[in-house]
Amino acid sequence: MECETGAFAGLLGRSPAMERLRQEIAQLGRRELCVHVFGETGSGKEMVARALHALSRRARRSLVPVNVAGVSDELLASELFGHARGAYTGAATDHEGYVAAAEGGTLFIDEVGDMSALAQVRLLRFLEGGEYRRVGDTVLRRANVRVISATHVDLARRVREGRFRQDLWFRLNDGQIFVPPLRQRGSDVLLLAEHFLREEAASQGEGPPALSREVEEALVGYAWPGNVRQLKSEMRRLVARAAGREATLEDLSREIEEGPGRRVGPLRAALKEREAELVRDALDRNGGVLARAAAELGITRQSLWAKVRRRGLVGEGA
């Protein structure tokens, strides 16, 4: 199945988890169903929504995304359904909302679990009849829109807790897709890392860094709480720090090299401690002069400086 072009552009990966994801998208994309996409923050929920839209008969029309997290009830009603001129202070003209903009296409509502009780009622009414009124207007309008929703929270649990309407959950959940977190995708981490490195390096007019074996092990071993979004940010940083050469562990962010979420075994921890001892001893023997200490250790001054700063062995001005 194609994974880098067409409807699945951007959904990279050869892991079983990604193969299942693409199969589920293919099954639900061509059906006129509301689909709910569940996944952790940064895992690619909007990308899944775009793939569902691209496979549907609505693909020639727009997919309109809206994130409803933290939006007040009145502003959300105006953003979704539009408002009439004079509906409230500052409404100087008529405003067509996201629903009208998505006519014939798909409306993607992200973080739907954060909707207030009133906003849930308004959305349910629209889903049940396809009808809505703009804020401050008496005209009943109709819309032909497919709705895809997404959230990082367990909506079924929120229903049980009385925090989300069960009838709305049933309407949104004709089909459900789970986006696997990056930590469950194995070596896909490296495939994505190399893709982001090439992409960022090209945009900066630089040569992409090569990944040393220890860097590859660190990337695969890290838990990636921010998922694909965090990995992309890390690769952007890596291009800035190691463009055109082989990246080392010292080029990675501290939390990835040695912080929470990294699955570091006792041998690696011991090696890190031994490295710190060797660096301290070399600095002591050479009076803190980085160039001489680096020559003794057989590494570049830049690499030694990175180790010194990362380990907090001397002050910034050494």
Domain that holds residue 316: 271-318
Residue 286: give its domain's CATH number: 1.10.10
Q: Do 54 and 161 belong to one domain?
A: yes
Please check whether residues 211 and 316 belong to one and the same domain: no
Query: Pick from 110, 124, 130, 131: which is nearest to 165 by CA?
Result: 124
pLDDT for 318 equals 43
pLDDT at 263 over 60: no
β-pair partners for 176 = 36
Report d(CA 145, CA 32) in Å as an integer: 10
Do 14 and 120 lie in one domain? The reply is: yes
Q: What is the CATH number of the domain that holds 204?
A: 1.10.8.60
Q: Which residue has the tokens 């049980």?
A: 160
pTM over 0.95: no
Residue pLDDT, tens place only, 93-129:
888 899 999 999 999 999 999 999 999 999 999 999 9
Average confidence score pLDDT of the chain: 87
Split at pLDDT 50, 70, 90, the class of 3 is very low
d(CA 265, CA 286): 32
233 is a domain residue? yes
pLDDT single digits (tens) 287-297 = 888 888 888 88
Check residue 273 and give its pLDDT: 66
Last residue of a domain, one of 180, 203, 234: 180
Of 60, 70, 67, 157, the closest CA to residue 116 belongs to 70
- The amino acid sitting at 122 is R
1 domain-assigned: no
The stretch 237-261 carries a mean pLDDT of: 84
Domain match, 41 and 112 both:
yes
Q: Say yes or no: 81 and 154 in one domain.
A: yes
Say which range, 31-45, 183-197, 206-220, 253-267, has the weakest mean pLDDT: 253-267
Residue 199 lies in a domain: yes
DSSP character string of 90-142? T--S-B--HHHHTTTSEEEEETGGG--HHHHHHHHHHHHHSEE--BT----EE
Per-residue pLDDT of 127-185, as tens digits, reads 999 999 888 888 899 999 999 999 999 999 999 999 999 999 999 999 999 999 999 99
